[in-house]
Amino acid sequence: MDALEIARWQFGITTVYHFMMVPLTIGLGLVVAVIQTAWYRTGKPEYLRMTKFWGKLFLINFIMGVATGIVQEFQFGMAWSEYSRFVGDVFGAPLALEALLAFFVESTFLGLWIFGWKQLKPAIHLACLWVAVIGSALSAYFIIVANSWMQHPVGVEMINGRPVMTDAWAVFTNNTALVAVPHTLFGALAVAGGFLLGIAWYHLWRRRHDGVDTVGADGRVIPGEDARIPGRDRADHKVWIRSLRIGAVVAMISFAGTAVTGDLQGKLMFQQQPMKMAAAEAACHDGTGFSVLSIGNVGSKNCDDVVAVIEVPGILSFLAKGDFTTEVQGVNSLLPEYKANYGTHLPDNPIYGERAGQEIQYVPVMEVTYWGFRMMIGFGGLAALAALVALWLTRKGTVPEARWLMRLAVFGILAPFGANAAGWIFTEMGRQPFVVAPNPDPSGIDQVFMFTAAAVSPGVSAGELITSLVALTAVYAVLLVVEVKLLVTYIRGGVVSAMPELGHAPADENEDETPGAGGNGDTKPADDVLAFAY
């Protein structure tokens, strides 16, 4: 592998990893804010418990998003200096504004929320969380504005070989971004929905399994309690059934949201990046049909052995144009257009390194785009369907006793994560060989594009890149294990893991049976400055 390929692997790995934490942060943050609002308005104890429990998991995850986010900003300059020089005038602004207007808000107000339970008035405390949640959504907006400019460059003029921003409004209201932002936010909510559903299902199952909750003759749940374990009372049942239903509803709404916005994105992509659309379909020839399953080598460039086993006529046209008859261009008819517009070979310019003069591969890796597209839709749809089934199965107030259903619900948490990752891998790999894709708009700034081969830092050696690739991947892997272990510990711990005060309630007297719960029951200094995390 040469420097370019290593740098691409590094960007891919660190970004996909970062974007496991980010959607959970965005989605779960909103859910926790809504729940805390419910607590603020009703004062019901189960909402406080939900806020604390889901808030704790939110924070364990949040910090990983923060830690891995800095890498994202730094590596543009570190590994992609030519890219940074080329696009800096227009691409740097949304990144700087993200830090200044969004990330500052998010991290400062989240700090206030974490530590301010006692210091702030309840309304202010709640408002801090809302401000932080809005900050993280705003942060997503700025980042996607930057990304959308790479998919669909607008608002610039080429001056001295570099795109120079001339119309900030066009950049910040890029239609690519305006549909990608809601798509991403719904995708994030889908992750949160699955997370709530799976974990709440586990706890409801556990309560049934342990004999705490029973089911009456009519099939309705009879919540019980186990006095020996802190927090396993009747309110605990409410915590989980309510969480489960919120999760299921959120999962279904967000799937509908991703479908609608994804459809809009598809129609834009058909105009803006026709090759990506064709590659999503592994469509070599023009046509109208959407392939549900193609076999053979979907990655082959001439399509000789690709056979669409199941194909629905008209659907591809619908995805692209909104009717059932427009022929969607396949790879074979797009290729000559790309070659005519952007050349057949990389120019003989030292910026391309050893790739100078090589033939340009305009077709993305179709195995990735074809399957990425299908995994995104498939995982997303499965999660929504599962949520619907879950609502039906729990209509009488608890989950069935079957262990396999519980396992399915827990592992189902991964499906929306998979859909998010697949979607991003599809859209970024589908943009290749461009790092800034040309904008074929008739209004015309077609000459603003950049090949990925020209973007990497010329001064940075393959050795440096491989060092960072190995180091970051290893550290990320270790931290993922730590994070998941901590999450599992706190999930198993249930609400009391986030609310130790439940552990030393006055009713809880038989301390020998609940070791560890009463150890520090009466630490209540008059000025409890520190009723918090560290």
Partner 1 sequence: MELLPTIWFIAIAVLWTGYLFLEGFDLGVGMLMKLFARNNTERRVLLNTIGPVWDGNEVWLLTAGGATFAAFPLWYASLFSALYLPLLVVLLALIFRAVAFEYRGKVDTDSWRNRWDWAIALGSFFAAFGVGAALALTTTGLPLNANGDREGGPLAWFSGYALLGGIAVVGFSLLHALAFLALKTDGEVRHRARQWFVRLLPVLLLPIASWALAIQFMEGKPWTWAAVILAVGAAVTAWLLARGGSEGRAFLALGAFLVLGTTSIFGAVFPVVLPSTLDRAFDLTISNASSSDYTLGLMSIVAAFGLPLVIAYQAWTYWVFRRRVSAAHIPAAHSFLPAVAAKAFTTKG
From 34-42, 55-63, 259-267, 315-323, span contacting partner 1 (CB under 8 A): 55-63
**Any contact of residue 88 with partner 1 (CB under 8 A)?**
yes
Q: In this chain, which of 158, 481, 482, 484 binds partner 1, going by CB under 8 A? A: 482
- Binders of partner 1 in range 94-113 (CB under 8 A): 95-101, 103-105, 107-112
**Any contact of residue 311 with partner 1 (CB under 8 A)?**
no
- What's the rounded Cα separation, in Å, for the pair 200 and 491? 9
**Any contact of residue 497 with partner 1 (CB under 8 A)?**
yes
**Any contact of residue 1 with partner 1 (CB under 8 A)?**
no
Kindly state the DSSP code that residue 264 receives in the 8-state scheme: H
**Any contact of residue 442 with partner 1 (CB under 8 A)?**
no
Q: In this chain, which of 161, 211, 444, 506 binds partner 1, going by CB under 8 A? A: 211
**Any contact of residue 492 with partner 1 (CB under 8 A)?**
yes
**Contact by Cβ (8 Å): 163, 87:** yes
Strand 434-436 relative to strand 156-159, pairing: unpaired
**Any contact of residue 227 with partner 1 (CB under 8 A)?**
no
Residue 294: which H helix or E strand, with range? strand 290-295
Query: Residue 468 is which amino acid?
Result: S
**Any contact of residue 219 with partner 1 (CB under 8 A)?**
no
Query: Residue 83 is which amino acid?
Result: Y
Q: How far is the CB of 9 from partner 1 (least distance, A)?
A: 15
- What's the rounded Cα separation, in Å, for the pair 285 and 85? 38
**Contact by Cβ (8 Å): 122, 40:** yes
Q: How far is the CB of 185 from partner 1 (least distance, A)?
A: 22
**Any contact of residue 523 with partner 1 (CB under 8 A)?**
yes
- What's the rounded Cα separation, in Å, for the pair 431 and 264? 18
From 36-44, 322-330, 377-385, 510-518, span contacting partner 1 (CB under 8 A): 510-518
User: Which SS3 state, helix, strand or coil, does residue 455 take?
Assistant: coil
Nearest CA to 11 out of 88, 83, 76, 92 is that of 76
Q: How far is the CB of 350 from partner 1 (least distance, A)?
A: 9
- What's the rounded Cα separation, in Å, for the pair 56 and 498? 6
- What's the rounded Cα separation, in Å, for the pair 483 and 499? 20
**Contact by Cβ (8 Å): 355, 215:** no
Closer Cβ to partner 1, 69 or 416, answer by number: 69
**Any contact of residue 118 with partner 1 (CB under 8 A)?**
no
From 190-198, 206-214, 285-293, 418-426, span contacting partner 1 (CB under 8 A): 206-214
C-alpha R_g of the chain: 26
**Contact by Cβ (8 Å): 130, 196:** no
Strand partners of residue 328? 287
**Any contact of residue 361 with partner 1 (CB under 8 A)?**
no
**Any contact of residue 481 with partner 1 (CB under 8 A)?**
no
Closer Cβ to partner 1, 3 or 425, answer by number: 3
Size of the site for partner 1 (CB under 8 A): 107
**Any contact of residue 460 with partner 1 (CB under 8 A)?**
yes
From 174-182, 336-344, 389-397, 495-503, span contacting partner 1 (CB under 8 A): 495-503
**Contact by Cβ (8 Å): 456, 7:** yes
The two three-digit tokens of residue 436, written as one number: 């800034």
**Any contact of residue 215 with partner 1 (CB under 8 A)?**
no
Q: In this chain, which of 210, 305, 323, 401 binds partner 1, going by CB under 8 A? A: 210
**Any contact of residue 60 with partner 1 (CB under 8 A)?**
yes
Q: In this chain, which of 6, 57, 229, 319 binds partner 1, going by CB under 8 A? A: 229
Kindly state the DSSP code that residue 345 receives in the 8-state scheme: B
- Helices and strands in the chain: count of H runs, count of E runs: 16, 8
- Binders of partner 1 in range 128-187 (CB under 8 A): 159, 164-166, 168
**Any contact of residue 45 with partner 1 (CB under 8 A)?**
no
Nearest CA to 453 out of 472, 476, 432 is that of 432
Closer Cβ to partner 1, 312 or 530, answer by number: 530
Kindly state the DSSP code that residue 525 receives in the 8-state scheme: -
Q: How many residues does the chain have?
A: 534
Q: How far is the CB of 393 from partner 1 (least distance, A)?
A: 21
Q: In this chain, which of 50, 64, 188, 191 binds partner 1, going by CB under 8 A? A: 64
**Contact by Cβ (8 Å): 250, 383:** no
**Any contact of residue 468 with partner 1 (CB under 8 A)?**
yes
**Any contact of residue 353 with partner 1 (CB under 8 A)?**
no
